Structure 1
């Protein structure tokens, strides 16, 4: 019997048990393509939340005491569980968040890679012995887990963006409480609890609380056992979480919104740049923080680029994510559809030209290409979380840098050019956390620092960055011979 069905996973995974929540809200899990209710569950209460953090805190002591080599092997077993259940997890991603099979495979690959990276952490946590200006003193600096990490994940890549923090926090020796987005409670929360349970990790080390702010308020961030908050989501919510965390003197890792630019210089390989630009904007129907919201094309190649770009975008099949050749599935909910449509219409009213104007069919939105977009238009300033793109032309490197840096966001980006060093130098001048020469804007690798500048977030994850984020340092000094104090 499969362990990965919506029915089995539509429970609260708290303190090693699967049960209903004690909250007052009945939460419906809705398929975004056909809008059918696929599961329901009762929300978690503040008391449920407390139990989850207490379990993570208590079991963490047990987990920390496990031999590091055994912890490594258990995490590798978790990666094996994911690989063995690839098809079942794919079905969950399609059903719960409208991801295509292509997107599901991409996401599952990211998940297995980050778990394997996290499996190296138990053997990478080391200490130091440092010299002292005081005679006879030995300084020992220990690297230790923080205790419990609270993970709040989004709806767009919930399986990976939860696992990105959960696996690395566990690898660093911590317990975890996940609060998944209410639209993706399974793929962003309970699925992870089940994976680590099947892998043989101590029950109650990883907990998932499916709930709403109306139930718990700021309790998740404020909870005294929550030592580090790892949030991925919108900038508006991230600001609130950062404010609450700061008020409670907690460390917060905030991976927030983006408005990434893909730049095509006059010496670029146009066909290749078109492919990169299409992938960077329309993968998972544009619901990725790294998506190329803006495409900036040198005026000398504008016509050729746009003709090829338009033809490629028009060839993308939109519709049922279960069909093998579907590229553009549904947006997660009607609210996201309405927000996208509002931004598109606002931009057209401001003077943008709709080279292609998408149509709305339920939650499926076909592509929109807006050209003649200026930096002051809504499409250039806002993150369009859907299959719509703003195209702007420029005359020089100086002008394009100015246009790109005018954004409040700075997450990812790309530069296409036949001169690699020109691209790298231009990338250095763009205010962003990540930028890729002759590639797409969507990149995330397990050992490379990931994060943004400005309104795109605070902190970095992956590799050494996650290990540092989820551990702390303790200085223990030993005075081997009596010290002469200035008075006694």
Structure 2
């Protein structure tokens, strides 16, 4: 079993005991074992060693967690907003102090490189700080009435209980971007993390919030096998909103269940993100952006660059420089701070991607570098001569491989960009900013970045996709609309005369 040392020296002022009991359920303020006999092995994706084993939660555990959230929701919603603010600020401080502990778990559990882990912890801290202002941003309004003698008020209120199903790729941040604002505006929560990241997407967050002062029952974590309690969790009647980040097929099922329960949903799903290099682009800068946008966290990022479209006049230059850079990327053990490309989450992912690459080569694509796997580590891979008929173009790769596509005109580039069912993020390089903005607005995607790569997420901006990439928006005031409801209250100050 992999553990941290008993204590961690986190800075000159603080020495804290490492979190324990991370392989248990957190329900109503108690750390308990799941009630099912089935177990979940938490695996290190690089060594494939068992970190620890957890007893799966069942439907009874799900009920207990939602019962606790339901019972505490009213009290939490009416807690002084400055108290909620201070708890989130406290959590941000603790997270900063425990930064190395959290990075360690991201590396051991999800194969994060040190750089990726550091970025994820910092981003998680930033969303806690941003959300700490939300308790006093629950703005309602007054409006004129069409009835004489009446006053109209619109109040913004929390939904009550919010449920979250979090992913394994950026588990800490992609959980926290719902958790922090949901708690800030007065919702209680039940979280189901992915089994591959049960600690970093669930139990270590529970430890953090418990230490920060979140009252018992307000925040709960249940970890279980999806075949045992997945649909039951999503459909639970106490939940008024479900937040999910993950694959499009699973997201469609969650959206269907949420719709049947007449509950809100925010679904951030797959992305087959385009990266366009126009004929006037600075190729060196475009190469820099494409390398980062594709290979951050082994390409296991929803808004990672998935298809690189290059104007035919710049294609050879870009290919030569891009391939040279990719060949230099250090890959292997994510615990080595020099590593850029670590392991994929499991062997199933490795074989799936190798199958996509093999299919492309059979259809005429050329392997410029990579296409070799050692264990769960897939060498950084570049294919040239890719066409839109190939699987590598049509499907989200979600790994350290990318295809290069040539185009002749701006119109052809837009047509290629929109030639998939996805529309999450994208990037475009040009020295003519106005031209770039005109083209960016024609791409069917929720986000588009000019002279930058596609993997951007700022805590105050609207994050979300179009088409099969999901519904709803995260970030800033946009997530407030997802996590709250409004109520119209009118006051008839002067006796009203009715027609009968």
Whether these two folds match at TM > 0.5 is yes
Q: Please give the per-residue CA displacement for 1:70-101, whole angstroms capped at 9, x wherever unaligned.
A: 21111111111110100110100000001000
Q: How far apart are the structure 1 equivalents of 2:243 and 2:495?
A: 45
Q: 1:7 to 1:340 in 2, by over 3 A?
A: farther
Match of 2:436 in 1: 423
Q: 1:283 to 1:441 in 2, by over 3 A?
A: same
Q: Please give the per-residue CA displacement for 1:381-411, whole angstroms capped at 9, x wherever unaligned.
A: 0000100101101111111000010111000
Match of 1:231 in 2: 244
| Secondary structure in structure 2 of the residue aligned to 1:10 | coil
| Secondary structure in structure 1 of the residue aligned to 2:206 | helix
Question: With structure 1 as the length reference, what TM-score do the two structures score?
Answer: 0.98
Match of 1:440 in 2: 453
| Secondary structure in structure 2 of the residue aligned to 1:179 | strand
Query: Does 1:85 pair with 2:106?
Result: no
Q: How far apart are the structure 2 equivalents of 1:440 and 1:281?
A: 9
Q: How far apart are the structure 2 equivalents of 1:4 and 1:108?
A: 19
1:435 and 1:441 in contact (8 A); partners too: yes
Query: Does 1:123 pair with 2:158?
Result: no
Answer with 6-15 or 387-396: which moved more: 6-15
Instruction: Identify unmatched segments of 5+ residues in structure 2.
Output: 1-5, 8-15
1:4 and 1:191 in contact (8 A); partners too: no
Q: Which one of 254, 278, 281 corresponds to residue 265 of structure 1?
A: 278
Q: How far apart are the structure 2 equivalents of 1:19 and 1:424?
A: 53
Query: Does 1:391 pair with 2:404?
Result: yes
Q: Which one of 58, 70, 74 corresponds to residue 45 of structure 1?
A: 58
Match of 1:159 in 2: 172
Give matches, 1:111-260, under 5 Å.
Answer: 111-260=124-273
Answer with 58-67 or 95-104: which moved more: 58-67
Give 1:373 shift.
0.7
1:6 and 1:92 in contact (8 A); partners too: no
Query: Does 1:100 pair with 2:100?
Result: no
Q: Please give the per-residue CA displacement for 1:121-141, whole angstroms capped at 9, x wherever unaligned.
A: 101012212111111111111
2:357 and 2:371 in contact (8 A); partners too: no
1:285 and 1:328 in contact (8 A); partners too: yes
Give matches, 1:263-412, under 5 Å.
Answer: 263-412=276-425
Q: How far apart are the structure 2 equivalents of 1:60 and 1:199?
A: 18
2:354 and 2:371 in contact (8 A); partners too: no
1:130 and 1:140 in contact (8 A); partners too: yes
Answer with 449-458 or 70-79: which moved more: 70-79
Instruction: Identify unmatched segments of 5+ residues in structure 1.
Output: none
Match of 1:479 in 2: 492
Q: How far apart are the structure 2 equivalents of 1:212 and 1:481?
A: 59
1:149 and 1:169 in contact (8 A); partners too: yes
Q: How far apart are the structure 2 equivalents of 1:12 and 1:376?
A: 46
Give 1:238 shift.
0.3
Give 1:61 shift.
1.9
Give 1:149 shift.
0.7
Q: How far apart are the structure 1 equivalents of 2:410 and 2:27?
A: 54
Question: With structure 2 as the length reference, what TM-score do the two structures score?
Answer: 0.96
1:7 and 1:39 in contact (8 A); partners too: no
| Secondary structure in structure 2 of the residue aligned to 1:472 | strand
Q: How far apart are the structure 1 equivalents of 2:255 and 2:357?
A: 30
| Secondary structure in structure 2 of the residue aligned to 1:8 | coil
1:149 and 1:176 in contact (8 A); partners too: yes
Give 1:217 shift.
4.2
Q: 1:370 to 1:191 in 2, by over 3 A?
A: same
Give 1:10 shift.
1.2
Query: Does 1:33 pair with 2:79?
Result: no
2:19 and 2:207 in contact (8 A); partners too: no
1:6 and 1:39 in contact (8 A); partners too: no
Give 1:4 shift.
7.5
C-alpha RMSD of the superposition: 1.1
